[in-house]
Amino acid sequence: MTVSNEVKRRDIMKVVIINGSPRKGNTYTATEIFKDEMNKCGKTLITEFFMPDDMPKFCMGCQVCLGNSYDKCPHHKFTEPIYKAIMDADAIVLTSPHFGASSVPGSMQNLLDHLDFLTMTVAPRKEIFEKKAFVLTTGTGSAASIKMLSTYLKHWGINRVYSLGIKLFTDKWSSMPKEKQEYQEARIRKAARRFYILKKKPAYFSTVFMYYINRIILKKYVGEGNYPYEYWKENGYFDKCPF
């Protein structure tokens, strides 16, 4: 994990960046450009995590976090700093190269598996409903990677998810013609500027729909005494739509 631009003022935009790959290739280069442009837009406090270094343990599918507080996870010491950074941030950025037929690296999927308790079906956080997110991907299948990561974020109840997919037919940014490098850099910087200034908007219709469906499911099929039900009850989700 790395932290940059530590300036303790209220006008700072706190951003957590989760890098889906340790390789410092095209996605890393694109992310550095994105960060640089956000820093030019205003004061930022950027916290970064790199997969799999910051989440070296595989999710075991034990489902402990789905029926208990997330701190019962056997890998809690790894999830805790990432969870806290997400909760403290104003914005979340997920970066990932495109892997395989239509997915992201297993290390990114592994982290999302560990954070599955944040979904609307379990214990969604009110703080997350106020946040915006950005998905930055590179590779020929960027659209598929964006769809997958955006779906996860929306299931958390994120206020808005923005994205940029960069289709590069090379594994080295420097091997592209200068004109193409400049073109892609301009796209990234434009996206970063727009993301920086964007404000909260009304919740997605799909998010509100998920909320009402899951409220019915928790009342009818989960019931009192079970963690998700009790969490929803404690947070007043049964009494009033949080969106």
pLDDT tens for the chain, 243 residues: list them: 655 544 344 478 999 999 998 888 999 999 999 999 999 999 999 999 999 999 999 999 999 999 999 999 999 999 999 999 999 999 999 999 987 766 889 999 999 999 999 999 999 999 999 999 999 999 887 888 999 999 999 999 999 999 999 988 888 888 889 999 999 999 999 999 999 999 999 999 999 999 999 999 999 999 999 999 999 999 999 999 999
- Cα torsion angle, 99, 100, 104, 105, sign: negative
The tokens describing 23, both together, are 């390789």
- Domain boundaries along the sequence of the chain: 2-201, 204-243
pLDDT of residue 42: 92
What is the CATH architecture of 2-201?
A: 3-Layer(aba) Sandwich (3.40)
Q: How far apart are CA 149 and CA 165, in angstroms?
A: 12
Contact of 1 with 47, CB cutoff 8 Å? yes
* pTM, entire model: 0.92
- Given this model, what pLDDT does residue 168 score? 83
